[in-house]
Amino acid sequence: MIRPKLIAGNWKMFKTLHETEELINGIKAQLPSLPPNVQAAVCPPYTSLMLAKQLLAGLPIKLGAQNMYAEDEGAFTGEISPKMLLAIGCDYVILGHSERRQFFGEKDEAINKKSKKALSSGLIPIVCVGETLQEREGGITEQVVTRQVRGCFEGFSTEMMTKTVIAYEPVWAIGTGKTATPQQAQEVHAIIRKLLAAMFSPEVANSIVIQYGGSVKPENAKELLSQVDIDGALVGGACLKADSFAAIVRSA
């Protein structure tokens, strides 16, 4: 099966409205169309989602959010619901990013609940998993990633799983300038795909897009994306400049 390559830019807590307009106009100039079998999405902060959607009109680039709450509405001060994201025109939502886990205490159980709600609402979740440097050096990467995958997708049906994107993000490679070697990344992607085959079926495992995230840059994107089980990238810092984001998309 030939899976599409999905390049998603996670803007994190960057870009005012004016800066959003500058960046998306730059992306439009660089990427008037996408290469065959390549999909792309941008994930700005909440305050820029509406403007981003308007600026992306007519382009094949999709819109995603960086998080959501697992309810449609209610007394949850400071939270954003899937219904609100859909009303803006979001297609994707990033869930369980390592920064959400690290700084806001999100656990697999909560990510599981959010992912199920995203799917039932019509959003595509990009669910993040990955080990810390201490866990990598302790030789327990496979145990950690296996626990996260099992926890995040417990109770998923086959249909739900086929509509989900996974992003493997080694925590030690996020924002550090360090990148897993293509071989290291491929090894964990293969572990995830094998686990999904056991949890669901080989057909499901072969159909799922598994991105790599962690200091992806134009300089290393092509080699990473050429690995057999790496189906795209969740891009951090390099997506904040139109030329580097476009270069990564083209390298796919």
Taking 90 as the threshold, does the pLDDT of residue 194 lie above it? yes
Percent of the chain topping pLDDT 90: 93
Q: What number is the average pLDDT over the span 110-128?
A: 98
Burial track 127-160 (b if 16+ CB lie within 10 A, e otherwise): bbbbbbeebbeeeebeebbbebbebbbeebeeeb
* Residue 52, both tokens: 């981003």
pLDDT score for 115:
98
Taking 90 as the threshold, does the pLDDT of residue 174 lie above it? no
Q: Which of 154, 169, 187, 219 is catalytic?
A: 169
pLDDT score for 173:
81
- What fold is seen in the domain 5-243? TIM Barrel (3.20.20)
pLDDT score for 85:
98
Give the chain's mean pLDDT.
96
Q: What number is the average pLDDT over the span 126-150?
A: 96
Break the chain into its structural domains and give their ranges. 5-243
Q: What is the pTM of this model?
A: 0.97
Count CA within 13 A, CB hemisphere, residue 60.
Answer: 14
* Residue 10, both tokens: 């996670």
Asked about 18 being catalytic, the answer comes back as: no
pLDDT score for 178:
76
Are residues 141 and 135 in contact, defined by beta-carbon separation less than 8 angstroms? yes
* Other Cβ atoms closer than 10 A to 62: 19
Distance CA 34, CA 52 (A): 18
